[in-house]
Every structure is written in structure tokens, then in C-alpha cells.
Amino acid sequence: MDNDSDLYFRQIPVGEMANLVYLVGSRSERKALVVDPAWSVDALVDQAEADDIEIVGALVTHYHQDHIGGSIFGMEIEGLEHFMTRSPGPIHVQKLEADGVSKVSGIPKSEFQEHSGGDTIELGGITVRLLHTPGHTPGSQCFLVEEAGRPAQLVSGDTLFLGSCGRVDLPGSNPEHMYESLNGTLRKLPDETLVFPGHLYSEEAQSTIGEQKETNPFLRVANLETFLQFMGA
């Protein structure tokens, strides 16, 4: 983080499933959004407070319990519901994901700010661009964090991992959509775009689109047919 940058950005490992949570915001405005507040919501909000940053909402990548809270494998994971007791800010959800997020979190849809792909949220000199990247779930979204004159940062949820991609054999998954999201949407981002995944499934915790284009097999398949064979679909 260089001194001239307005970007406030923290990558925080949480929970028992190698999740990575992000604080994204503006240093000049002292405001930030939390990407996927789950597992240790208080610690996330406390971290922002310790940095003298106010949390002004949540960005949801997708509806799975390890990202928004809920019960899974006999575990109760803390998430959006608890987040709402700590922060009044809106919860930004892709419109195709709103039903799923509501069902898993128990929060009524009326509490959500529903988005389409391409929507932006501005915080000071920082723009968060919401990219609709279906495949892992129907309303999965990635967040492109932009600041003038600097490479953008992609918070890629469970769509793009470093060296792999999200599962497409789950209810609501669609391998063809995943192919399009990876090779149509994310592969077209500039090579210098930094990549920050939703899970630490790799040695490194960050990469670039250029590096992933060279090393990630899921970004290197020649066509949809090969991709589907590769995914065992």
C-alpha cells in the first residue's frame, strides 16, 4: 500500500475452511465495505475500528454458508445476521443470488441492495465494480476494486482460485456459465490486475490475472468442450 493511494485494503483469513475475507475502502473517507463477513464478524469490524475505519456495508460474493454464515456440516457459522447487529450499512447482493442469500442467512430480501453486473459503488477515490460471474452459483459476483492510475484488484470469491476455480458440481452450479465467467469475463481483465481469492487453497494468497493466464489450467483450456470434459461434466 503506497502512501499516495487512497485504497484501504485488508485480506483476513477466517474460520476453519480457509476462507479469506476482505476490507475494501477509502483511506481519505475512512470508510470500507466487508466482503463476505463470516466466521469472526466481530474481529473484522474491530479490525476496521482499530484502523479508524467505519464499516458502511457488506459485499456478498455468493450464498454459501462459509461466506455469509449459516449451518453446514453440523457447524453454526456466524455471518450476515450478526454483521447486521454491528453495522447498519446495506448488504450488496447480486439480484440472482438474493433468494439464496435470504434463505441461507435468514435475512429478508428487503434488507438487501440488489445489483446487476456492472454496477459500481464509490468510496472516495475508490470504485468497486460488481462483475456478475455465474457458474459456482447463479448470482456469484467478483469485485473489481479500481483506483485511477493503478492496477485494479479483483476479489474473486469462489469463482477464480489461484491455480484452480470454484466447484461446479453443487446445486445451482453451471459449468458452462463458469467457463464463460472465467474465459469470457475474468480472462479479459488486464494482465496486471491483482487477484485475491475467496479461499486460501494455494501457497500464495494473491496473484495477477497475467500469472493465472499462464499457470491456471482452468484459464488455459482451448474451448468450452474441453473445459466441460476437464470438469467431468
Stretch that binds Zn ion, among 14-22, 36-44, 62-70, 223-231 (CB under 5 A): 62-70
Which is nearer to Zn ion, 159 or 183 (by Cβ)?
A: 159
- Locate all alpha helices (DSSP H) within the chain, ordered by sequence: 41-50, 65-68, 80-86, 98-105, 175-179, 209-215, 224-230
Of 3-32, which residues contact Zn ion (CB under 5 A)? none
**Minimum gap (Å) between residue 201 Cβ and Zn ion:** 12
d(CA 112, CA 129): 17
Q: What is the DSSP letter of 199?
A: B
**Minimum gap (Å) between residue 89 Cβ and Zn ion:** 23
Q: Site for Zn ion (CB under 5 A): which residue of 64, 95, 132, 177? A: 64
**Minimum gap (Å) between residue 216 Cβ and Zn ion:** 18
Of 135-164, which residues contact Zn ion (CB under 5 A)? 158
Q: Which amino acid is at 189?
A: L
Stretch that binds Zn ion, among 44-52, 57-65, 98-106, 126-134 (CB under 5 A): 57-65
- Which strands sit side by side in the sheet containing 120-123, from one edge to the other? 120-123, 126-132, 141-147, 153-155, 194-196, 207-208
**Minimum gap (Å) between residue 64 Cβ and Zn ion:** 4
Long-range contacts of 99-104 (CB under 8 A, 24+ apart): 100/62, 100/63, 100/137, 100/138, 100/139, 100/172, 101/60, 101/63, 101/68, 103/63, 104/63, 104/64, 104/65, 104/68, 104/69, 104/70
Q: Is position 199 an interface residue for Zn ion (rule: CB under 5 A)? A: no
Stretch that binds Zn ion, among 64-72, 86-94, 114-122, 177-185 (CB under 5 A): 64-72
Binding site for Zn ion (CB under 5 A): 64, 158
